[in-house]
Amino acid sequence: MNRQLFDYYRRTPARRKGFVLMIMTLGLMFFVSTVGLGVDAGVSYVVRTRLQAAADGSALAAARSLNTSLDINSQSNAATTTGEAFFKANFPPGLFNTTASSTQMQFAYGTTPQTLSTFFITSNAKATSPTYFMRVFGKESVPVAAKAVATRRDMNLMIVLDVSASMDTTQVNTTETACTIMKNSAKSFVDMFSNGRDNIGLVTYSTGSKLAFAPTTSFSPGVKTAIDGIDCEGGTNTVSGLKLAYDQLTALNQPAKLNVIILFTDGLANGIIADFPVRMQNDTRYGDGTSNSLYPSTTTLYNMPPSACQDASGKVFGQAGWNPFKIGDPGAGATNNTIRGTIFPNGSNTGGTGATSGTYEWYNTNATNIGPSGTGCGYMTSASRFRRDIAYVPSADIWGNSTSGYRTNWDYATSAVISGVDRFPSGHPYQDQIRPDSPRALWNVGANVVDNLGQTIRANTTLNPMISTIGLGGNTGQPADAEALIRLANLPVGYGPTNNVINNSSYNATRPQGSYAYAPTSAQLAAAFNKVASFVSELAY
């Protein structure tokens, strides 16, 4: 205001009063507009905050709905419907007097080497927020937008199912076997994953292992058909099933994906595949329990001569140059005078000497099949007579897994350490070697090779595989080994069947940690599968 104008208003009281009133009016208009702008901005902020929360939830809900065995297009359509429904539930039309609220779902795969196996789900939300004060200036509404991105990492998932004979037991208060209940639970488990994106494969194991369904992204309905075809019989050669599943992951060789093994069992690991040395010395060991046998008692020590196996030239022990098995002979191991096969304890009496059985690869094999080498072997007339031919259990199985480990001189019947259970005593021709004639030793060997293989799998820093485990109790024989399954899952601590605390001495915080679920009876088996499925699914986001 120039000097002349100021003097004009200053000359009379009336003029001065008008001047003050004009200044106050201008100030009030400025104050009202400022307050109005603040109020409208605050309303817009509240709208955007709620809009962002709805967008976040819709993106995550859409991502989770991809976990179904539908085809990719059906999954995307379902995910869009789910995301939009979730958005409307959290930001209903007209909320805060808004208009035109909506979200648009977008789906895309990563394109960089680091994101090739990652699926991105984007929720683009928008709404129009009204103004209350600024409309006097002609601004009746403002647009508000929010964006949320959820990611889902694709998986390579190998399901490993125990299909041993104990699973064929009819369950209490039902007409179904544990095998049938397990199959139904496994089929529901499969539905938690994404057909067309996740690789899913199936391995079954009993006395041996089988790739029942090779891993593929087109797993539905094929893997369910394979599950339906399962028959439960035989032993519990857990290490062979776990190794076969791991081999599938290494063959896929996809580090960007989440690599997972899910292992289910109802009992103790009790078989190993190895190259067993032929017994070539007189020694003292337990009998084989075979009827009409020279050594009928499994609780009595007998003086036994070396193996009766004949070599290719028909020579037996005591004859110069006796060489019962050579590399390349059918049934021979990777070195001379070894026999390749599976060894496992027979029966549930793990606390006593009991009986041990030979292998499915040896038993019922005759001289015509195996060639001249092997004629006269004890195992050829009875599986239990393998102990007459085998000197001891070697230090590792055929895959290099140590037969020694955390289970040493352990007695399952008493849950105690008993000195001298595992190895031949001092002064014995095979002293300090693991006994093949003591089932307690073989239970321990079975647990050790599985545990050592688990450590090898988790040590793979390229694929970073994770192992999750499910145990079932209530069947015949010993229940699932809670400690062994907790160790496989790499949990720092877990709980046994009686809610007893189990501390894991092998826990490694730097390696992938899985989950463990225990079902006391088959009635809780579906819940155990669901628990593990939920855990694995959470890792994908």
- Cα–Cα distance measured from residue 139 to residue 386, given in angstroms and rounded to the nearest whole number: 93
Q: Do residues 16 and 54 both lie within one domain? A: yes
User: Rounded to whole angstroms, what are the CA distances from 539 to 68, 110, 334?
Assistant: 16, 18, 41
Q: What is the mean pLDDT of each run of 10 residues along the chain (541 residues)?
A: 55 55 52 58 88 93 79 84 94 94 90 78 94 78 93 93 92 89 96 91 94 96 97 92 98 94 94 92 90 85 90 84 86 89 72 65 49 68 84 97 96 85 95 93 95 98 96 83 96 90 95 95 94 88 74
pTM, 2 dp: 0.83
Q: Do residues 35 and 176 both lie within one domain? A: no
Which of 153, 175, 196 lies at the terminal end of a domain, its last residue? Answer: 153
Q: Do residues 109 and 42 both lie within one domain? A: yes
Total domain count for the chain?
2
Q: Do residues 20 and 58 both lie within one domain? A: yes
Contact indicator for 482, 497 with CB cutoff of 8 Å: yes
Residues facing residue 386 across a β-bridge: none
For residue 189, give the CATH number of its domain.
3.40.50.410
User: Rounded to whole angstroms, what are the CA distances from 118 to 198, 201, 464, 538?
Assistant: 11, 20, 16, 14
Residue 369's pLDDT is 42
Fill in the amino acid letter for 497.
P
Which of 133, 153, 173 lies at the terminal end of a domain, its last residue? Answer: 153
User: Rounded to whole angstroms, what are the CA distances from 534 to 56, 67, 73, 514, 517?
Assistant: 20, 10, 23, 12, 11
**Domain range for 245:** 155-270+448-539
Which of 153, 176, 197 lies at the terminal end of a domain, its last residue? Answer: 153
Whether 50 maps to a domain, the answer reads yes
| CA count, 13 A, side-chain hemisphere, 389 | 33
Whether 337 maps to a domain, the answer reads no
Structure-token pair, residue 90: 């959290």
Q: Do residues 138 and 205 both lie within one domain? A: no
In sequence order, which residues have a C-beta less than 8 Å from that of residue 313 and are 6 or more positions away?
A: 321, 372
Q: Do residues 138 and 30 both lie within one domain? A: yes
Whether 296 maps to a domain, the answer reads no
Q: Do residues 251 and 171 both lie within one domain? A: yes
- Cα–Cα distance measured from residue 493 to residue 504, given in angstroms and rounded to the nearest whole number: 6
Residue 139's pLDDT is 80
Q: Do residues 125 and 165 both lie within one domain? A: no
Whether 408 maps to a domain, the answer reads no
- The strand pair at 355-357 and 338-346 is best described as antiparallel
Residue 367's pLDDT is 42
Residue 148's pLDDT is 94
Tell me how crowded residue 73 is: count the other CB atoms within 10 A of its CB. 9
Residue 402 gets which letter from DSSP? Answer: B
Q: Do residues 72 and 181 both lie within one domain? A: no
Residue 505's pLDDT is 95
Spell out the long-range contacts of 481-486 with Cβ–Cβ below 8 A and sequence spacing 24 or more.
481/265, 481/267, 481/268, 481/269, 481/447, 482/516, 482/518, 484/268, 484/269, 484/447, 484/450, 484/451, 485/263, 485/265, 485/516, 485/518, 486/516
Residue 365's pLDDT is 46
